Amino acid sequence: MSVVGASPRQAPAATGATGRAIRRVCVLGATGSIGDATLDVIARHPDRFEVTAVAAHTNVRKLAQVCRRFRPRYAALGDATAAQALGAELAADGLPTTVLAGAAGLVAIASLAEADTVLAAIVGAAGLASTLAAARAGKRILLANKEALVLGGALFMDAVRDGGATLLPIDSEHNAIFQCLPAAYARDPATAGVRRILLTASGGPFRAWPAADLEQVTPDQACAHPNWAMGRKISVDSATMMNKGLEVIEAHWLFGVAADAIEVVIHPQSIVHSLVDYTDGSVLAQLGHPDMRTPITQALAYPERITAPVPALDLARLATLSFESPDLRRFPCLALAYDALRAGGTAAALLNAANEIAVAAFLAGRLRFTDIAATCTHVLAAVPTTAIATIDDVHEADARARDEARRFIATRVDQGTVTA
Region of poorest pLDDT, from 40-44, 57-61, 136-140, 206-210: 206-210
Q: What is the pLDDT of residue 12?
A: 46
Examine the pLDDT at 11 and tell me if it is beyond 60.
no
Examine the pLDDT at 397 and tell me if it is beyond 80.
yes
Q: What is the pLDDT of residue 3?
A: 36
Q: What is the pLDDT of residue 324?
A: 94
Angle among Cα 243, 244, 247 to the nearest 5 degrees reads 90
Distance between CA 258 and CA 343 in Å, rounded? Answer: 12
Instruction: Give 365-405 as a DSSP string.
Output: TSS-TTHHHHHHHHHHHHS-----SSHHHHHHHHHHHHHHH
Pairwise pLDDT comparison (16 vs 362), residue with the higher score: 362
Domain spans of the chain, in order of start: 14-170, 184-291+312-318, 344-414
Distance between CA 309 and CA 311 in Å, rounded? Answer: 7
Considering the segment(s) 14-170 as one domain, its CATH architecture is 3-Layer(aba) Sandwich (3.40)
Cβ-proximal residues to 243 (8 Å cutoff; 6+ apart), any chain? 234, 237
End-to-end CA distance of the chain: 47
Distance between CA 88 and CA 243 in Å, rounded? Answer: 38
Tens of pLDDT, residue by residue over 85-135, are: 999 999 999 999 999 999 999 999 999 999 999 999 987 777 889 999 999
Examine the pLDDT at 6 and tell me if it is beyond 50.
no
Q: What is the pLDDT of residue 205?
A: 83
Q: Which residues pair with 27 in a beta bridge?
A: 54, 119
Q: What is the pLDDT of residue 10?
A: 44
Nearest partner of 234 among 377, 363, 63, judged by Cα: 363
Return mean pLDDT, the chain.
91
Q: What is the arithmetic mean of pLDDT over 44-63? A: 96
Q: Is the dihedral of CA 279, 285, 286, 292 positive or negative?
A: positive
Q: What is the pLDDT of residue 209?
A: 84
Tens of pLDDT, residue by residue over 278-309, are: 999 999 999 999 999 999 999 999 999 999 99
Q: What is the pLDDT of residue 244?
A: 94
Examine the pLDDT at 222 and tell me if it is beyond 50.
yes
Q: Percent of the chain having pLDDT more than 70?
A: 93
Q: Measuring CA to CA, how many Å separate 224 from each of 63, 234, 239?
A: 26, 11, 9
Asked if 25 and 51 touch (Cβ cutoff 8 Å), the reply is yes
Distance between CA 185 and CA 158 in Å, rounded? Answer: 17
Examine the pLDDT at 329 and tell me if it is beyond 90.
no
Examine the pLDDT at 207 and tell me if it is beyond 70.
yes
Examine the pLDDT at 8 and tell me if it is beyond 50.
no
Nearest partner of 355 among 146, 170, 208, judged by Cα: 146
Q: What is the CATH number of domain 344-414?
A: 1.10.1740.10
Q: What is the pLDDT of residue 14?
A: 60
Q: What is the arithmetic mean of pLDDT over 318-324? A: 90
Tens of pLDDT, residue by residue over 260-269, are: 999 999 999 9
Range 46-55 burial, b when 16+ CB lie within 10 A, else e: eebbbbbbbb
Counting other chains too, the contacts that 62-67 makes at CB distance below 8 Å and 24 or more residues apart are 62/31, 63/30, 63/31, 64/89, 64/90, 64/93, 66/30, 66/31, 66/35, 66/39, 67/95, 67/97
Confirm whether pTM is higher than 0.75.
yes
Examine the pLDDT at 417 and tell me if it is beyond 70.
no
What is the identity of the amino acid at 304? Answer: E
